[in-house]
Amino acid sequence: MFKNHITVQPGCILTKLLPMKIACADYRKEMMLASLVRRLEDPKLSASQKEEIRSQIKKLEQAVGLD
């Protein structure tokens, strides 16, 4: 489908909507990352649960460019 960018004609509705969608997607990923980091601090988690959360954190960090 779309790779890294979309080319649109000036005045197209996508020129107004696309930046918002990108910003919302980035915000969502950052909030998910913050939630996982907070969850990792739960002392009731088993070692396997912590490892799964660390794996999810690593994937999200790569997605938002924090790796």
Residue pLDDT, tens place only, 34-55: 899 999 999 999 999 999 999 9
Residue 36 neighbours by CB distance under 10 Å: 19
DSSP 7-59: ---TT-THHHHHHHHHHHHHHHHHHHHHHHHHHHT-TT--HHHHHHHHHHHHH
Supply φ then ψ for residue 58, to 5 degrees.
-60, -45
Residue 64 structure tokens: 């938002």
**pLDDT value of position 11:** 57
pTM over 0.85: no
Positive or negative, the Cα torsion across 55, 61, 66, 67? positive
**pLDDT value of position 24:** 79
